[in-house]
Amino acid sequence: MKEILYKLFDYHYLSREEAKDILFQIVQGTIPEAQVSALITCFLMRRISVEEIMGFRDALL
């Protein structure tokens, strides 16, 4: 998860698969709340890409 956060801190986007995996991990409770907060903060700092939205959607289906 740290690698993902560093990627987002550098204003890079997640792939569709990365976004899907992250949401699965959040739902399963395997990511600490502090890291989830950091993840949400990153998305508030920049726009969410279409690939990220599609990955989150895939995780919900």
CA distance 42 to 22: 14
What's the CATH superfamily of 2-60? Transferase, Pyrimidine Nucleoside Phosphorylase; Chain C (1.20.970.10)
Give residue limits of the domains in the chain: 2-60
Say yes or no to pLDDT of 50 above 90.
yes
The pTM assigned to this predicted structure is 0.87
What distance, in Å, lies between the first and last C-alpha atoms of the chain?
22
* Chain centroid to CA 52: 7
% of the chain with per-residue pLDDT over 70: 100
